[in-house]
Amino acid sequence: MRKVIFIDFWLLLPPVILTIYSAILLATLSGEKYLAYYQVLFLLLGLLLFYLLSRVNYKTYFSIWPYLYGIGIFFLLLVLVLGVNKFGSARWINLGFFNFQPSEIFKFILVVSLVEYITSRVKVGWKEFITYLAILLPPVILVAVEPDLGTALLYLVTGLVIYFFAGKNRKFFYGILLSALVLMPLAYQFLLQPYQKERLTVFLNPKADVLGSGYNVWQSMIAIGSGGINGRGLGHGTQSQLQFLPVRYADFIYAVSSEAAGFIGSMMVLSLYFVFFSRIVIVANNSEDEKGYILGLGFLFIFFLQVVVNIGMNMGSMPITGLPLIFLSYGGSSLLTSFIILGVLNNLSRRGKKVSFGDV
């Protein structure tokens, strides 16, 4: 009997569990319980997108990457003109029924564009490397202007990672790293806004201004610590329920989870991410060609860096950014983009040389 659709079980199950858990956490937040309904709606829409994109050959996106890139740049420019301002940044376009965040969907577009370009070059010289940067840097700059430095740096790091794993003339890669180290002091002095410098100060010393610029991370650390081993229980955390914890439904959802479910709950969340990331590595390694391999690794780093930075931010070990915690943070654009990427990865898994485990 012919399969209707291939589903990589270990690729899909962890994100679905995390998103359902996210909806449960949101349903316990006083004053913001309604967000749980939207999160479930976004999950259902995400599963639909997953199903549709799972049926499309992943190589299709390589053939249309200039069009995808052009559309993505258009929306990044549009958000600078029509963007809805929240928390001091204009990152969203109000569509009436939905606040669309172009920088989220561009994560998918950027990986596809960079992978197609760099893997299609037999040799990479100055001309090819400058062209690669010409694809990478415009979205980095446009998103930084919003301002959304966290996402801009995510683009930049992912672009460099893709270039490195493509294995094409790595002397350019090392040159960029060396230049970045040399220019870092100048960038701090002349490019960063005062509030961004304050975030770095708080990162180095969370106790520097616990009632001012360090308030967010300090409250997050209190919430995580107060959860103990077993947690205070869903809906019973004082930091979360009394709204001491800022942006608790998005940026600091991990702190909400840690306060409610404690160390045990945190380990369960991290275990789900570990299974998810491990499966992407397997899918990438089993890819039928180089493009599929680099594509899988590009998506892996898009996901992995967001998890590391967000959880690190919640624990005071990383600077504060606006990067969401994939599948846990509330946000339609982030969740839908993640399931779009999942659909592409599922198709990559389907067409791989072999499947290690978990297909149904």
Between 43 and 147, the higher pLDDT residue = 43
The pLDDT tens digits of the residues spanning 248-274 come to 888 899 999 999 999 999 999 999 999
Q: Tens digit of pLDDT for each residue in 301-355?
A: 999 999 999 999 898 878 778 789 999 999 999 999 999 999 999 999 998 765 4
Give the up-direction half-sphere exposure of residue 264: CA atoms within 13 A in the CB hemisphere.
7
- Asked whether the predicted pLDDT for residue 356 surpasses 60, the reply is no
Helix (H) or strand (E) holding 84: strand 84-86
pLDDT tens digit string along 187-201? 666 666 666 666 666
| Pairwise CA distance, residues 311 & 25, whole Å | 16
Rg from Cα positions in the chain:
20
Q: What pLDDT is recorded for position 218?
A: 81
321 compared with 276, residue with greater pLDDT: 276
The residues near 78 (Cβ < 8 Å, ≥ 6 apart) are 93, 102
For 94, the token pair is 């109000």
Confidence band, pLDDT 50/70/90 cuts, at residue 211: low
Q: Which residues contact 271 (CB under 8 A, 6 or more apart)?
A: none
Contact 338, 326 (CB under 8 A): yes
DSSP letters spanning 271-300: HHHHHHHHHHHHHHHT-SSHHHHHHHHHHH
- Residue that wins the pLDDT comparison between 289 and 235: 289
DSSP 218-246: HHHHHHHHHTTTT-S-TT--HHHHTT-ST
Lowest mean pLDDT among 146-150, 176-180, 200-204, 338-342: 200-204
Angle at 248 between CA 242 and CA 250, to 5 degrees: 165
On whether the CB atoms of residues 329 and 310 are closer than 8 A, the answer is: yes
On the question of pLDDT at 151 being above 80, the answer is: yes
Angle CA(325)–CA(239)–CA(30) in degrees, nearest 5? Answer: 80
